[in-house]
Amino acid sequence: MTRHRPYPSDLSEARWELIGPTLTAWRAERRSKGLTIGRPPEHDLRRIMDAILYVDRIGIPWRYLPHDFAPWETVYGYFARWQQEGVFAQLNGLLRQFLRQKEGREAEPSACVIDAQSVKTSTSVLATSQGIDAGKKIVGRKRSIVTDTIGLLLAVLVTAASVQGSIAGTQLLDQVAAEHPSIRKVWVDGGYRQHLVEHAAALGIDMEITQRQPGTRGFTPIPKRWAVERTYGWLMLHRRLARDYEALPTRSGAVIHIAMTDLMARRLTGEEPELLRVLAVAFERVWARAVPHDTYKIR
């Protein structure tokens, strides 16, 4: 294979060792079943993933991929297939377990946080998949995510911005309860309705609504919810997520999985950007001063 000048978003050898086995197993399974994307595969899976990470990090349209990658139609074809078959979600789950264990935690969490973010959309997004967030005055989509207490993604749901948080939260709780039965505690903000608390209780999950103290001004971390807010900050480092460019909400969710996969792989291999490390330490110090010790035991 012809050598190329690497881009900053390209996978290093160490990160490819984490991600490569899942993609290689996916291709092997398709071959064993006689399934292929068009002609027999001629493109290197690592370069396909490099191209997807390039779009995710730089934010360009698929058609604007540099010519040293595979044709954009091929790259997008793999992106769409991996989204449909849950490959990105699988990678996210695998790396999350690795990272939690590296930090001395159980592979599966016992507590989580739910939050939503409304974002504007591009002209390529169908009007039928958009809406108006009346509270934030944003026309676009809403990203609802569930993270563990260190900010790692457990579930994501992209909807029209007009969808109420409690409706999206109900779907996310059902997904979390099914995929992560160890979850017993969840924190949300004041925008979630009381009936969601009752739904969580029916699933065996204790939901706590946390809000800012009356009269509070300026930036003040809210107990436990700061972790998910920080995750949204991480996601904004990937320019494809600065606005929702994806035609389908499910593809938009896949881009979030890709961003988190990239972040966790870099952290596992010690390649995390220095800026993220500095911000993480600063946030931890602010949090330690602003929030009293929480006695709820989490893992």
CA torsion through residues 105, 111, 116, 122, sign: positive
Q: What is the pTM of this model?
A: 0.86
Whether residue 60 sits in one domain with residue 179: no
Average pLDDT for 50-63: 96
Q: Is residue 3 part of a domain?
A: no
| Residue 13 dihedral angles phi and psi, to the nearest 5° | -60, -40
Q: Is residue 95 part of a domain?
A: no
Number of domains in the chain: 2
CA 40/CA 31 separation, integer angstroms: 9
With 80 as the cut, is the pLDDT of residue 219 above it?
Answer: no
Interior angle at CA 285, CA 279 and CA 288, nearest 5: 140
CA 189/CA 21 separation, integer angstroms: 38
Whether residue 200 sits in one domain with residue 257: yes
| Residue 209 dihedral angles phi and psi, to the nearest 5° | -90, 120
Whether residue 79 sits in one domain with residue 112: no
CA 145/CA 156 separation, integer angstroms: 4
CA torsion through residues 267, 270, 275, 280, sign: positive
Whether residue 137 sits in one domain with residue 70: no
Whether residue 264 sits in one domain with residue 171: yes
Query: pLDDT per residue over 75-122, tens digit each?
Result: 999 999 999 999 999 999 999 999 999 999 999 999 999 999 999 999
Whether residue 115 sits in one domain with residue 74: no
Tokens of 106: 């159980």
pLDDT of residue 150: 92
Whether residue 73 sits in one domain with residue 117: no
- Mean pLDDT is lowest, of 75-84, 146-155, 185-194, 271-280, for 271-280
Average pLDDT for 33-39: 64
Query: pLDDT per residue over 149-168, tens digit each?
Result: 999 999 999 999 999 888 89
Q: Which residue has the tokens 């890709």?
A: 258
With 90 as the cut, is the pLDDT of residue 288 above it?
Answer: no
The range of the structural domain enclosing residue 50 comes to 13-84
Tokens of 117: 């973010």
